[in-house]
Amino acid sequence: MKKAKEVQNEVLENAHKVWLAGLGAFAAAEEEGAKFLKNLMEKGEEIESKGKEHLEKAKGAASGVKTVAESYWDTFGQTLDETMTTVIHRMGVPTKDEIRALNKKVSDLSKAVEKLRTKEAKPAAKAATRKPAARKPAARKPAAKAAAKK
């Protein structure tokens, strides 16, 4: 029976070794898992930092491109405005400023004419109260021109 007892002890000892190996594996996994997780987090932080640097560089480049594009667009707009103004002047179309100046002159002239009319209307109103002088019919001139033609 010693053999059965030895086998039983051997099985118990092997089971205990497996149990200890399992506990050791669990402890190692926990320890290595924490190290592994810490390592992954460090790598993630490095990548995030590099990504932020690249993002900032890209933002700076985009900002520079935007500034250059706006400058070119402004220059293009000014050139287009100047070209259109030149073409319009060649066609004889007045500018806004010229039209405003003409409108002001017309307005000033209209006011001046209105003042003259009101000044002339006052003496005419006084003259209308007097009796008009009788007019004599104008004497006819001889038809000298008709005779000269003959």
DSSP character string of 29-63: HHHHHHHHHHHHHHHHHHHHHHHHHHHHHHHHHHH
Distance of alpha carbon 124 from the chain centroid = 63
* pLDDT tens string 129-139: 655 555 666 65
pLDDT value for 2: 66
* pLDDT tens string 57-66: 888 888 888 8
Q: Are 112 and 104 within 8 A, CB to CB?
A: no
pLDDT at 118 > cutoff 90 = no
DSSP conformation class of 142: P
pLDDT value for 134: 59
Distance CA 21, CA 27 (A): 10
pLDDT, mean of residues 95-101: 87
Task: Report how many helices (DSSP H) and strands (DSSP E) the chain contains, helices first.
Answer: 3, 0
Confidence of residue 23 (pLDDT cuts 50, 70, 90): confident
pLDDT, mean of residues 37-57: 88
Distance CA 148, CA 144 (A): 6
